[in-house]
Amino acid sequence: MKSGLTTQSHRNSIWNLLNEVDQIFGNDYFQGRAPAQTSNFQPLVDVVEEENHLLVSADLPGMKKEDIHLDLSEGVLTLSGERVDEKKSSDKHYRRFEKTYGKFMRSFRLPETVDRDGIEAQFENGVLEVLIPKSEKILPQKIEVKESKDGLFSKFLGKKDEGKH
């Protein structure tokens, strides 16, 4: 049974397979003119927790600082932006087109123990790093339980302790 691939060499068989797929789906896809599609670019993110801080590190290759937005609202840190297609000419004949482009948004709920005013961000060589310092942990407070003859509310309602003159 014939597979449809030539056996001349491995390299030629790959190109023949691509040509066959190209014929099935049409020339546009393999010529670098993929049909319009929604963005599937999502930056890869690491979140590391240390004793005194959290560090968020996002890979944003090919992006500029101006294309990156970082917001904090109601305890949620949101990273958003747009990675723009670098293609300058549509007459190029791409054999493979794997880079993804488009708008993206990633959100992370921060713990209540972070110092929101101390957050710093820097962007260098396609990597965004966000340093989120931790504030001092809020310790539970012990409340002393006292005995009362007249009840707690009598103190606020203005009733005097009858036992005292």
Q: Could you list the pLDDT tens digit for every one of the 165 residues in the chain?
A: 333 333 344 445 665 665 566 555 554 444 444 444 445 789 999 999 988 899 999 999 989 999 999 999 999 999 999 988 766 556 677 777 778 888 999 999 998 888 999 999 999 999 999 999 988 765 557 888 877 777 666 766 766 555 554
**Rounded Cα gap, residues 79 and 127, in angstroms:** 13
Give the CATH architecture of domain 37-85+93-133: Sandwich (2.60)
DSSP lists the bridge partners of residue 73 as 76
> What was the pLDDT predicted at 99?
81
Q: How many CB atoms lie within 10 A of CB 60?
A: 22
Q: Domain extents for the chain?
A: 1-36, 37-85+93-133
**pTM for this prediction:** 0.58
> What was the pLDDT predicted at 16?
61
